[in-house]
Chain A
Amino acid sequence: MGPGVDLGLPLQLLINGLVLGVLYALIAMGLALIFGVLEIVNFAHGELYMLGAVAAYFLTTSLSVGYWGTIALTTAGAVGLGALFYEGLLAFIAGRGFERSILLTLGVSMVLQNGALYVLTATPRMETTPYSYRSVILGDVSIPLLRVFALGLALLAFAALYVLLHHTRMGQAIRGVAQNRAAALMVGIDTHAVSRLAVAIGVGLSGLAGAALAPVYSVHPTMGVAFVFKAFAIVIIGGLGNLPGCAVAAILLGLLESVVGGFFSPTLVDSLGFLAMIMLLLFKPEGLFGRGVRL
């Protein structure tokens, strides 16, 4: 490296991209988990993420709950909401047609988004925490502390999900139902309970993402749209219902967006996910990591 070549910028972009990608993965994996078990594409996923962020905002601002308390409460609330979402709505349409499930969750998403607009108005709100405006400095690279926490929380959630899916009987049941619902039913797995659990975890992940990102980005009723738009692209790129594929696709997209964003216009950055999705569908329609449901 000759003089004048600055390693700081590329490294900074790389790290920003990694953080972004892991957070995309948090949302996309919830989407993929629900699809894997129920064959339902949850179009309300972005709004559930928004609800998580709104809840975190009010817990911190109005009730003065601390940062970690807010994260824990919001995630727990989201898990409960997910179970309720399944029992109240999804259970009635599971297995009754793909279009029907899309339209139902789309209706839910419109009610939530516009309900939030009606109650909260479109004004963006900023959540401040004791950790805001502090950064971790590593050589030339500085990362805001809240992003480091968000990254850590996401990695922790992945580890927990991995252990749950691969080292517990409950996880075995989830994977069984995702592989073959009828066969799972025949060997005595309670598919209803498994579905409820999968939706609860999926919504819990998006709630966690909302709570972790509320102090990083501004909170407003349409914040879910941009995120879920990326998540859809990731889910297609990674292969529908393929969790590891999704995680890799999410991190790749985050890195790509960050690097491209360093040099090109924001329009191109926002279009990247879509362009990647179209390219992939044209040249490798079964997804980066092959067809089939793998949890």
Chain B
Amino acid sequence: MRAAWRWSAILGAVGVSATFPLWAGSPYGLELGISVALFAVLSTGLNLVYGYTGLLSFAQVAYFGIAGYTSALLWTNFEFPMLAGALMGGLLAALLGLLIGYASLRLSRHAFAIVSLSLALLCQIVSRDWVSLTRGPMGIPGLSAPTVAFAGIGQVSFDRPAAFYYLMLSYAILVLALLYRLVHSRIGRAFLAMKLNQPLAESQGIDPLGYRLLAISISAAVTGIAGGLYVFHLTIVDPSIFDFYYTEAMLIMVIIGGPGSFWGVLAASLAFSMIPDLLRFSTDLRMIFYGIVLVTAMLAFPRGLGGLLPARIAVPWRCRAQA
């Protein structure tokens, strides 16, 4: 019964999103659609590390931007295809995630939060100052997504927003399906066990560092690939790819959706990619809005809106670690 309900909801959502360009009506609607698909990947990536393994990561935007720069530079200098460049970017992001994870997690989760934030800030500074590589604030312009011939459809140019929307949507569905499988597998249960009671999990033979590094690198890779693709939609990559705006948006989506709640975070990323746009906020006001939401959430409902649900529904997550 519940399974049937869930599957019809999923099929309905896929149906709605697959036909979206037909009734979106305007380029603006398509932009919003691309942004929803992007943030679904980014926030679920953060949810994997923060929600499931309990590591607060501020480095997601660094993975996103570094992979964006990687795929843009490979495309510009070596004519790498977009997909290959994005994969390389994802790989680099995963390696970087492993480095900061390995270095800081031997100390504490606290150190991981601080080091990951430092990485994000460092990327901002380096992308601006290392002019010989990144061209500084000028950025790398002129990126253009490829035209690919599909059997039965013919030539599809991913420069067109509708085509790019489908690309991003397919990637989002792929990532969501993979991560859903992951968190509901043995590995996902190990993540959760570690978060609920680390000494107990260790006594059962779960190696916390290994599992945490696994979560970090998967999350970094999917976030990075999203960045590597997205810059081809932006057509330019400049230091603003590391903007704190992305971090804050991802955090809001995960926190309001409820860390560790797969569908809650997905719903929140849908809502929060659209609300500020629909309210026509300028960037400054949007950040202030997000900041106020964050402060309010921390004071009033630290487990997300899902945490306000009756305990009966929240039972699987009830013993979520507080510290």
Question: What is A's interface to B at a CB cutoff of 8 Å?
Answer: 41, 43, 89, 92-93, 96-100, 102-104, 106-111, 113-115, 117-118, 225-226, 229, 232-233, 235-236, 240, 265-267, 270-271, 273-274, 277-278, 281-282, 285-286
Which residue in A98, A100, A107, A113 is a CB contact (below 8 Å) of B292?
Answer: A107
B302 touches A97 (CB 8 A): yes
Q: How many residues of B contact A (CB 8 A)?
A: 45
B119 touches A98 (CB 8 A): no
Residue of B nearest to A274 (CB): B122
Which residue in A41, A106, A271, A277 is a CB contact (below 8 Å) of B110?
Answer: A41
B126 touches A271 (CB 8 A): yes
B117 touches A240 (CB 8 A): no
How far is the CB of B74 from the nearest CB of chain A, in Å? 21
Q: Count chain B CB atoms within 10 A of each CB in A117, A266, A274 and give the residue with the most.
A: A274
**8 Å CB contacts to A: which residues of B77-135?**
99-100, 102-104, 106-107, 109-111, 113-115, 117-119, 121-122, 125-126, 129-130
Question: Which residues of B are found within 8 Å of A278, using beta-carbon distances?
Answer: 99-100, 103, 115
B115 touches A270 (CB 8 A): no
Complex Cα spacing A98 to B291, Å: 18
Question: Which residues of A are found within 8 Å of B106, using beta-carbon distances?
Answer: 281, 285
How far is the CB of B39 from the nearest CB of chain A, in Å? 17
Known: A104-B299, A111-B291. 20 other contacts (CB 8 A): A41-B110, A43-B117, A89-B295, A93-B298, A93-B299, A98-B110, A99-B54, A107-B290, A107-B291, A107-B293, A110-B244, A110-B290, A111-B292, A113-B287, A114-B284, A229-B125, A235-B114, A267-B129, A267-B130, A270-B126
Complex Cα spacing A281 to B101, Å: 10
Q: Judge whether B285 is part of the interface by a CB distance below 8 angstroms.
A: yes
A103 touches B107 (CB 8 A): no
B294 touches A236 (CB 8 A): no
Which residue in A111, A117, A233 is a CB contact (below 8 Å) of B118?
Answer: A233
Question: Which residues of A are found within 8 Å of B244, using beta-carbon distances?
Answer: 110
Interface CB pairs A-B, < 8 A, 20:
A97-B322, A99-B56, A99-B113, A100-B298, A102-B56, A104-B298, A106-B294, A107-B293, A110-B244, A111-B288, A114-B291, A118-B284, A118-B285, A229-B125, A236-B114, A267-B125, A267-B126, A270-B122, A282-B103, A286-B107
